[in-house]
Structure 1
């Protein structure tokens, strides 16, 4: 079932076709019925196929089948097959294919990254930041969920994450610690995450009561040392790694024993290599 609303899908359609398809209108309306298949040229994790199918339906196509999201398909397999008069199929063609190219690209990258990490640390999660392309968050989150990963933060309203610039605005370290102690009992249903850049600061934040330490742009040995310290002194706390982590280097960070890797890299994934096959009936 589509998780993007019909109203959102209709707005997407209107962006591409605000009035009508000029090409097919000028050519005439005597096209034969046809079938359109969207296929992949490479192994791909399917994402947003429900939305693509719904777009086709909204444009008047008959959906013969689609591969449900989150399934991995092999090269040359069809993801979506729709049927209609040729004029209608042309309206649906690029709208469905481009949506699938972006969504499957992100989902495949995210899933590949997750599989790389879980080969060395099956308890490590991939969490994707809120740094999505502006105006595309809901679509991107949907695609990444299809890839098997989770959002780090969906927005500022849902989690407590204290950065160094928050701490720098206090008069001094003692003033920040006092504020943290007042915050801790108020955060009954929320964990408090503190970002640190060195191991000594991380240890101090754990002693202060941080639930999660987010280490940014640190060397691998620092993560290994901090994970060991956590296991001995604060076994209920979590350690996450952030900063410059992508599909190629994620496994190295996972090997250190961190609980999660925080990344923005799936947003820059290349589009899935899809093609269209036209079959005249």
Structure 2
């Protein structure tokens, strides 16, 4: 869950000097109720954060549905009561946060469901290609949708791209062995764009082969060629994977689907009803 400090920051962005309209109307002290509901089927995310925003503004939350819950159209997932000033202050920021986060969670769930209908044990992992400044929300939404993060950032994983290898001798695998010696506790992931390159890097000691934009039949061929190795490498399919082709990639036998698609999901539509008590 996002911290109170982060939620306060979001609230402050929307009302740095208070809510002028509510104050000018003189209705801030009147009691009211607020309810949030799904306009269409969705996987809700950041409902707890929305509830906490309402509490931080002075409202009392009545009920809240947990992030990761699949909702049907019309289903209410959050209610609260309190002064009109509190409800209006939190209203739009809370609604928008839930809409964007739930959009990511809903698309994530669709991709996971499509993949696991074919390969129940496959992992779906999302990249770090979220909109800058929103990683905490993006990670929360990915997890609510049933996937995991492929990388949280540059600081904790070894993922060698072709853009790294451009500075290395392509005919010399010593760089990979040296890298593993320097970081013995970490697996080395190498992104490759063809099966021949994948096998060369496997022989050099790569732990994970990330196949970038290979067609499903090419991914299946790499899986077949590497299956008998001891230990077998982890084969991850990446690039352009979404709910439309996740099943085809899952059928290849690879262990992981790597995707950025959830971050470009359309926000979910949340209906907010605000009434006098």
Question: Normalised by the shorter chain, which TM-score bucket?
Answer: over 0.9
Deviation, structure 1 residue 119: 0.1
Out of 131, 135, 158, the residue aligned to residue 137 of structure 1 is: 135
Deviation, structure 1 residue 279: 3.5
Out of 10, 19, 24, the residue aligned to residue 26 of structure 1 is: 24
Deviation, structure 1 residue 31: 6.1
TM-score by length of 2: 0.96
Residue 181 (structure 1) aligns with:
177
Out of 123, 128, 146, the residue aligned to residue 121 of structure 2 is: 123
Residue deviations 1:169-208 (CA, integer Å, cap 9, x gap): 124412xx11212222333221111111111111111111
Residue 226 (structure 1) aligns with:
222
Deviation, structure 1 residue 240: 0.5
Pairing 1:154-193 to 2, within 5 Å after superposition:
154-174=152-172, 177-193=173-189
Separation in 2 of the partners of 1:211 and 1:276? 49
Return 5+ residue gaps in structure 1 as ranges. Answer: none
Would you say 1:278 and 2:274 are equivalent positions? yes
Would you say 1:211 and 2:207 are equivalent positions? yes
Deviation, structure 1 residue 30: 6.5
- Note if contact 2:54-2:61 (Cα within 8 Å) is conserved in structure 1: yes
Deviation, structure 1 residue 234: 4.5
Would you say 1:43 and 2:41 are equivalent positions? yes
Residue 91 (structure 2) aligns with:
93
Aligned length: 277
Separation in 2 of the partners of 1:155 and 1:12? 23
Separation in 2 of the partners of 1:210 and 1:15? 45
- Note if contact 1:212-1:237 (Cα within 8 Å) is conserved in structure 2: yes
Would you say 1:246 and 2:242 are equivalent positions? yes
Deviation, structure 1 residue 45: 1.1
- Note if contact 1:206-1:234 (Cα within 8 Å) is conserved in structure 2: no
Deviation, structure 1 residue 117: 0.5
Secondary structure of 2:227 counterpart: helix
Secondary structure of 1:232 counterpart: coil
- Note if contact 1:125-1:260 (Cα within 8 Å) is conserved in structure 2: yes
Secondary structure of 2:17 counterpart: coil
* RMSD (CA atoms): 1.4
